[in-house]
Amino acid sequence: MDVDISRWILEFILRQPLDDSILNALIHTIPLPNDNLNLKKALILRKLESEISNGSVTEKILELLELFEELDHQEGTETLKELKSAYCAVAVECTVKFLNEKGAESDKGKYFEAVKRIWKKRINLMEKMENVGFVCEELWDWRDEIEAALWEDKCCDNVIRRSKGIFPVEAVMVFVREAKERIGPPFLDVVAETYRSDDTVRAFFGGVNEQGTCRNNVREVRKGNALPRQKHVAFRRTRGALARTCGGVRISDSIELGLDASGRQDFLPTPEIEKAQEALKLSSMELRAMVKDPLPDVLQFAETLSSLVRDHMGHQPAENNSDRAPYPVVASSRMDQVNGENCEAQRNCHPSAASKPDLMNRKSAAHTSEWDDSADELIEGSPSGARRFTLPSPKRTKISPLKKYEFKKFTTRRKPTKWSALEEDTLRTGVKKYGSGNWTHILNTYRDIFVVRTAGDLKDKWRNMMS
């Protein structure tokens, strides 16, 4: 199955109210593209919905939210505030649930473990990484209170009281809703809606089958704005898939998000699933029959136009070339071509039209913000304007901070944490019992007390206390 088609189907079925087991089986039967961030996000969102379906939250949700945030980073997308709120709410709930009003000792042990697991390891690690989307004042406020509750019963009561004002399941639901809106509807839904509501599109599809006039129809559909003019995510996905430049987490990572614990080997096809498979195959074949990939046409057109320009420029004196724009309309519209917009304008573009003053204005913000100006300058400075057709790749407006963030991960100092009286007393007891120098043994013996400390910290503290 074509990778784009399988992606369209996957993103569609992930939005359907199917039972987890059926959905999981379907996912296992369809080849998964490895390089689509939005599809990975859709998988995570579906898994989140599944996790909260019983009305409670688990630490698994924190992991899923972190994965989602990492994908945002890779994409250069700003983290949704709803994601931060959901993460904070879930982290608090997963910790505070071990406390009760009376601070029973049996629950305190679990509380210690939860604080260590969630706030000391997971969230403290995040703090060391700059640009992590979860970083917010609310999270640090909670951390301070939750850590204080380790030592003070009064703080326990405060944390319990305050936690009653958070609603983690609802927060996750709000995030999922917002994330879905940002991703946009599945491509198949958009196509279906367009097909249903637009006569031109219906005529186009009919024309393909009966008359084979696909190219003209495509042009008409685009000219008539039959498809949404906005840069729909589905088109962006197609572009990304064609470019094959997407790095980072492979889809195999996302597959581990499988909607239940069963592996592929455990999957037993039922008649219902087989029926669904057949229906999907049929839909796939129909889609192939109806939809023509515009890219080959565009590339062919670009090549034709390029050779025309080369011929044309070959007859122009160099000094004249410097007075005219090197066909910026073509250069600045490459993205639009791929997006299916302005196709007709591109086809009508002739070298002679490039001298029009309004088309020469490279200062247009819409263009200069998208393209690599340094490359443009190089081309402008070259004696041959025809070279302008070797277009630079579009610049991302946001640069992934992953490299910097990896670097910071290993160089940032921990935030200084003041030693509590209990920690100091425990250290004295430990040294008295096991002797100075056995820091690792003391640390392991009193793990519950030295939640955030290392053996080196114990050594340093003892040195300070002795000085």
Q: Is 115 in the site for DNA (CB under 7 A)?
A: no
Q: Is 455 in the site for DNA (CB under 7 A)?
A: yes
Within 322-435, residue ranges assigned H as helices are 328-332, 334-338, 343-348, 357-360, 365-368, 373-381, 402-409, 421-434
Q: Is 239 in the site for DNA (CB under 7 A)?
A: no
- Structure token pair of residue 26: 């379907």
Q: Is 206 in the site for DNA (CB under 7 A)?
A: no
Q: How far is the CB of 120 from DNA (least distance, A)?
A: 11
The total of other beta-carbon atoms located within 10 Å of residue 421's CB is 8
Q: Is 421 in the site for DNA (CB under 7 A)?
A: no
Q: How far is the CB of 441 from DNA (least distance, A)?
A: 6
Q: How far is the CB of 421 from DNA (least distance, A)?
A: 11
Choice between 1 and 422, CB closer to DNA: 422
Q: Is 433 in the site for DNA (CB under 7 A)?
A: no
Cβ 217 vs Cβ 207: under 8 Å: yes
Chain centroid to CA 65: how far? 11
Q: Is 414 in the site for DNA (CB under 7 A)?
A: yes
- Let me know the angle formed at the C-alpha of 459 by 453 and 460, rounded to the nearest 5 degrees: 85
Chain centroid to CA 459: how far? 43
Q: Residue 212 — left, alpha, or beta (φ > 0 → left; ψ -120 to 50 → alpha)? A: left
Segment contacting DNA (CB under 7 A): 35-43, 61-69, 164-172, 414-422? 414-422
Choice between 148 and 291, CB closer to DNA: 148
Burial grade of 39 (CB within 10 A; 0-12, 13-18, 19 or more): buried
- Rg over alpha carbons for the chain, rounded to the nearest Å, is 29
From 419, 427, 430, 449, residue interacting with DNA (rule: CB under 7 A): 419
Q: Is 464 in the site for DNA (CB under 7 A)?
A: yes
The total of other beta-carbon atoms located within 10 Å of residue 224's CB is 13
Q: How far apart are CA 203 and CA 226, in angstroms?
A: 11
Residue with tokens 């490039």: 354
Q: Is 440 in the site for DNA (CB under 7 A)?
A: yes
Choice between 134 and 439, CB closer to DNA: 439
Q: Is 453 in the site for DNA (CB under 7 A)?
A: yes
Q: Is 121 in the site for DNA (CB under 7 A)?
A: no
Q: Is 413 in the site for DNA (CB under 7 A)?
A: yes
Q: Is 439 in the site for DNA (CB under 7 A)?
A: yes
Q: How far apart are CA 133 and CA 155, in angstroms?
A: 28
Q: How far is the CB of 410 from DNA (least distance, A)?
A: 7
Choice between 167 and 407, CB closer to DNA: 407
What are the residues whose beta carbons fall under 8 Å from the beta carbon of 388, sequence distance 6 or more? Answer: 326, 327, 328, 330, 331, 379
Q: Using CB under 7 A, count the residues that bind DNA.
A: 25
Cβ 109 vs Cβ 448: under 8 Å: yes
Q: How far apart are CA 36 and CA 246, in angstroms?
A: 7
For the chain, how long is the longest CA-to-CA vector? Answer: 94
Q: How far is the CB of 436 from DNA (least distance, A)?
A: 6
Q: How far is the CB of 420 from DNA (least distance, A)?
A: 9
Cβ 10 vs Cβ 34: under 8 Å: no
Q: How far apart are CA 176 and CA 361, in angstroms?
A: 42
Q: How far is CA 9 from CA 137, 221, 240, 306, 402, in A?
A: 40, 23, 17, 37, 31
From 284, 321, 417, 429, residue interacting with DNA (rule: CB under 7 A): 417
Q: Is 445 in the site for DNA (CB under 7 A)?
A: no
Choice between 111 and 439, CB closer to DNA: 439
What's the full length of the chain, in residues? 467
Q: Is 18 in the site for DNA (CB under 7 A)?
A: no
Q: Is 432 in the site for DNA (CB under 7 A)?
A: no
Q: How far is the CB of 443 from DNA (least distance, A)?
A: 7
Please state the φ and ψ torsions of residue 170, each to the nearest 5 degrees. Answer: -65, -40
Q: Is 418 in the site for DNA (CB under 7 A)?
A: yes
Choice between 130 and 189, CB closer to DNA: 130
Choice between 75 and 127, CB closer to DNA: 127
- Structure token pair of residue 405: 């963030």
Segment contacting DNA (CB under 7 A): 109-117, 168-176, 245-253, 457-465? 457-465
Q: Is 69 in the site for DNA (CB under 7 A)?
A: no
Choice between 15 and 409, CB closer to DNA: 409
Cβ 330 vs Cβ 389: under 8 Å: yes
Segment contacting DNA (CB under 7 A): 136-144, 274-282, 322-330, 412-420? 412-420
Q: Is 441 in the site for DNA (CB under 7 A)?
A: yes
Which residues of this protein are in contact with DNA, per CB under 7 A?
Answer: 411-419, 436-441, 452-453, 455-457, 459-461, 464, 467
